[in-house]
Amino acid sequence: MEGTFILIMGPSGSGKGTLLSHIRKRFSEEAEVVFPVSCTTRAIRPGEKDGETYYFISREEFNERINNDEFLEWAEYGGNLYGTLKSEIMSPLKDDLVVVREVEVQGVRSILSIFPRPNLHLVYVDAGEWSDFEKRIKSRAPIEDKELKERQERYKDELSFREKADEVISNRDGELGEAKKRMEKIVSSKLSDRVQRES
């Protein structure tokens, strides 16, 4: 296997989705950069298209796909199932392409344990301390203490991957422009590694 899997992670609200959308637009003309589609059982949101970021499927179909061993990893998050498809990730990697995807922390843990490390480039999006997140969460909507505690536990778990990441992108308040540029550089540098391998 030759290609590179750029795996983006970070606490929910860190802006990893925004960075991924940016990269998707920026590299839309590059056939060598692939954005694999995952499966999820969550409801489709306004503005989303089936088959773009997700295949929206039933729990029944998701379970069938688990039994057929179609997932590289899968996890339950917020009461819904999410899973990366082997076909969407392994085929482009065999073709020496650059694959970019974000997943939540359980997915990162699974992928790190099964994936050849030289082909993986883990990017952690750092949007600040827990106290910053707490402020942001509380300002958005009322939240029960229990849920806040759960969010904090997850934040700690996510944070433990910061030191395992190949790259940390800082995306604190006011840093989005710089974070987008850093993300572009990561993808560009993986593309040029590829060109060098070929020559």
Q: Which positions lie near ligand 5GP, rule CB under 6 A?
A: 12, 38, 42, 73, 75, 77, 82-84, 102-104, 106-107
Of the two residues 17 and 191, which places its CB atom closer to ligand 5GP in the complex? 17
CA 118 to chain centre: 18
Shortest separation between residue 36's beta carbon and ligand 5GP, angstroms: 8
Cβ atoms < 10 Å from Cβ of 90: 18
Shortest separation between residue 91's beta carbon and ligand 5GP, angstroms: 16
Q: Return the bridge partners of 33, or none.
A: 98
The answer to whether 106 and 129 have CB atoms below 8 angstroms apart is no
Of the two residues 73 and 97, which places its CB atom closer to ligand 5GP in the complex? 73
Shortest separation between residue 114's beta carbon and ligand 5GP, angstroms: 13
User: Could you tell me the two tokens for 40?
Assistant: 């999820």
Shortest separation between residue 95's beta carbon and ligand 5GP, angstroms: 20
Closest CA to 132 of 7, 8, 6, 11: 11
Write the CA distances from 96 to 23, 89, 137, 197, 199, integer angstroms. Answer: 19, 11, 40, 10, 13
Contacts of 183 (CB under 8 A, 6+ apart): 19, 22, 23, 123, 169
Of the two residues 61 and 193, which places its CB atom closer to ligand 5GP in the complex? 61
Of the two residues 77 and 161, which places its CB atom closer to ligand 5GP in the complex? 77
Q: How far apart are the first and last CA of the chain?
A: 17
Of the two residues 26 and 55, which places its CB atom closer to ligand 5GP in the complex? 55
Shortest separation between residue 103's beta carbon and ligand 5GP, angstroms: 4
